[in-house]
Every structure is written in structure tokens, then in C-alpha cells.
Amino acid sequence: MNNEDEFFDAVTGLDSDESYEGVSEASFKDALVFDGSSKKNNGSVPQENGIKKHRASLPVPMFPRNTISVWSILKKCIGLELSKITMPIVFNEPLSFLQRITEYMEHTYLINRACSLSDSIERMQAVAAFAVSAVASQWDRTGKPFNPLLGETFELTREDQGFRLVSEQVSHHPPVSAFHAESLAGDFVFHGSIYPKLRFWGKSVEAEPKGTITLELLKHNEAYTWSNPYCCVNNIILGKLWIEQYGTVEIVNHSTGDKCVLNFKSRGMFGKELHKVEGYILDKSKKKHCVIYGKWTECMWSVDPQAYETHKKSEKKGDNKKHKNEEQEGAENDDADDMPEVQETVCVVPGSTLLWRIDSRPAHSTMMYNFTNFAMSLNELEPGMEAVLASTDCRFRPDIRAMENGNMDEASREKERLEEKQRLARTERAKSEDEWSTRWFQMGTNPYTGCQDWIYSGGYFSRNYQDLPDIY
């Protein structure tokens, strides 16, 4: 029997570097429980300049992947469902997909900025920058997150960024991950459900990010919805893995009628368009207010439409023959799609306003699965947290924990054990005709799109964790 493991299904803490020994359970609850306002830490958790510290690296560097060929696995699976292909654990990264989608929150300051702005077009600019920044952490992240087990959860509270989040794996077939984040100051709610649809194209795997993302700015009575762009991992069979994002992302302000249309460009001829994002903001009368441009791996800018068009026309002069010989040069390797050489940094149009710039990754990131600083801290489990977190939290998954600690054999054994346990539980439910019941999210209607969506039903942070499923 094949393990039911979605191949490349994401192509989308309470942490400290120091020990928590001697910290009481009550102290942790003080840090975790939300009471409607951003609480100040009482000093029992290590801080630096008043901000709680988070770890800056993983326990051990990543396991080298260059000794195993993906094609050696795939060539045995021709004709099988993609969702039935089991990949060696060496191709994973030590995070669950629930933790991976939490990385949307890395640039929460952009939401806070939107909340503070009085002009709806400026708010849309900030929201658009946030939508782009939400996929920025995927740059060079070719490791596959662990598929969440049914009933798995993850929570994250970040007082320095002013939010708390809870997510739950609400469905296994199809795999659906639901999340809900809210401002500690009561300024915003950010929620959605993600269920990527996968396609294998021979040399690449494409993920269509089905699911709606909703951002509510409570102070302004505004709600924005959008879906993420497509994501493709290239060179699955041969060559170096590399990622591109492409497709149209439409952000709608359901309160004002404003709309932002963003085009995530594919690499294009000679790789000139790799990583580029270009779009514009329209009001409800379809007047174009500004152009937004940049790279999802680097930065985003906003500028007046006329200034942008003038700049584009001058940029095209003499460009038609610039690369006349590059097509032939780039066609020498038919087996691997080499990642196009990254073009020069974003050319800033005079008069532009910077909306967002990506943070630098730590110097050792390449040895740590290309994690950002934010991702580096997500799976940290400190002594004492066991008494506070739900038993279904990703931090307790033994296969992810073993991989993070460099114990690859143990991680592989635990992954197989958990998958078998999940299958047996599903078989038992079928025998007794029991339906799986989600705990923190319920299927409902998104009031802004009118479509079916997974809605947070509340209660997670009350810490009433009785009768949770035994999934680990």
C-alpha cells in the first residue's frame, strides 16, 4: 500500500535561545492567553530590549540531498496518482505545512500599516505589498513541508508583531489547512484555507493554490480577499531545483470596490521576467490610481501610472536586438531547465514609493533549508510549553522533531508510523460509520465571496483541550 503523502504540496512560537527552566505554567499562560489587548511580558521570559528573543538557527544543519535522485523515485511511479507517491524524507524540511503557511505573518507590519492609513488606495497598496510578501519566504525553499495529519494544529503568538494565530488540518482528502490570525490590539483578522492542487509536468511540479485568503481591517470596516499565485518547482528530474511564482492575483476590497490586479510573471524569454510582479490599483469606477511593481523575492514599489508608462517606453528603446543570440545559447541543455540568471535589481521609476523590502536571511540560511529568521524559530519547543500547548500542535510531531535534530532514520520511521496510525484510525471510523469532527474550524460561507470556506469557530485560546485526538 502506498503512503498517502501529497508530493510537493506546498509550493506556499513561543521561542527563545535561552532555557525556560523555573518558569511556571501560569507565566506561560500569561504570555499566551489573549485578553483583547497587547500584553506586556512580565519579565519571566528572556528578552532583549524589551522584545522576547527567538532562536536564530536550527539544532543541526540540513542533511545533504545531492546523493538521492528524485527521478529514481518518480520513474517507478509512472501512471500512479501524484498524491500516492511517497518521497524520501531527505526531500522534506523540518516544518509542517501548517507552520509553512504561518510564514504569511512574517511581514505583519504591513497589515498594521494598512490599519493606520486613512486613504483607501494607500491601504490597498499596503495590503498588496503584504500579499506579495506572504509568498516571499518560498524563494529557494525547495524542501517539502511535512503533510499535516488530520486534526494537527499549530499556534503562534508574537507580541512583538502584535498577533496570534491558530491553524488546523481540517481535511485529509482533499488536504485542507485552515488558519485564523488576529491582532492582539483588535485591529485586524486574517484567515483562510489552503488546498493546493498539484500537477506533474515531467520536469516540474506545479501547485495551484486553491483557497481564499481574507483580511479584515476592523477599524475601517473593510474586507479584502485574494488567492496566491501558482508556484512551480523546476528540475524535478535533473539539475538544480528552482522555484518560480506566476499567475494573476486579484485583491478585492469588498467595502469600497477598489481592486488591485497583480501579475506574477513567469521567467519569459531569456529569463528576463523571472520573479517580477507588476500590477495596478483601480477604484470602483475603474480609474487607475497607481502602478505597483517589483520582485516577490526583493521589493515592491508604487508609482503614478503615467510616470510608469513613460519609463517603460524609454526602457524599450534599443532593447529588441539586445538578446538576439541568447535563445540559441540557452537551448544547449534539453534535459534541465537551468534557472535563468537573475537580472539586475529592480529598476526604480523616478517618483516611486517603496512599499516593502524583503529582510535579509541569516548568513547560514543555505545550511538551514534556506529558512528565514522567522521560519527558523517556528518549531522551537521550550521546556514548560508542553503544559500549555494543545497536544496536537506541530511542535510535538516526532518525525519533524527527529529531522530537525538530524536523526534522519528515526524521522523516517516515525513518519511511516504516523501515516500508518492515521490510516488505521480512518479505517476504524469507516467501520463504525463515524464522521471526523473538526475542533476549531467549521465549514461555512465566506460572507464576502459567498463561497464555502472554513471559518474559525473560536475557543482555542481558552485552553480547554479535552478530548483531542491522539494523532502522534
CA gap 58, 56 in Å, rounded: 7
- Specify the pLDDT at position 245: 86
> Where is pLDDT greater, at 161 or 345?
161
The percentage of residues in the chain with a pLDDT greater than 90, rounded to a whole number, is 58
Number of helices and strands in the chain (H, E): 10, 21
Residue 329 pLDDT level (bands cut at 50, 70, 90): very low
Mean pLDDT of the region 227-249: 83
Q: Which helix (H) or strand (E) holds 276?
A: strand 276-282
Mean pLDDT of the region 180-208: 87
Answer yes or no: are the C-beta atoms of 440 and 153 closer than 8 Å. yes
Residue 39, SS3?
Answer: coil
Domains, the chain, with CATH or none: 25-317+335-384 (2.40.160.120)
Q: How confident is the model over 96-111, as pLDDT tens digits? A: 999 999 999 999 999 9
Q: How confident is the model over 109-167, as pLDDT tens digits? A: 999 999 999 999 999 999 999 999 999 998 888 888 999 999 999 999 999 999 999 99
Answer yes or no: are the C-beta atoms of 245 and 234 closer than 8 Å. no
CA gap 250, 226 in Å, rounded: 6
Q: How confident is the model over 75-87, as pLDDT tens digits? A: 555 544 455 556 6
Q: Which helix (H) or strand (E) holds 116?
A: helix 109-116
**Is a pLDDT exceeding 80 seen at residue 386?**
yes
Mean pLDDT of the region 4-25: 34
> Where is pLDDT greater, at 250 or 72?
250
Answer yes or no: are the C-beta atoms of 104 and 97 closer than 8 Å. no
Dihedral angle sign, alpha carbons of residues 344, 350, 356, 357: positive
Mean pLDDT of the region 281-307: 95
Which value, to the nearest 10 degrees, does the dihedral of the CA atoms of residues 371, 376, 378, 383 take? 160
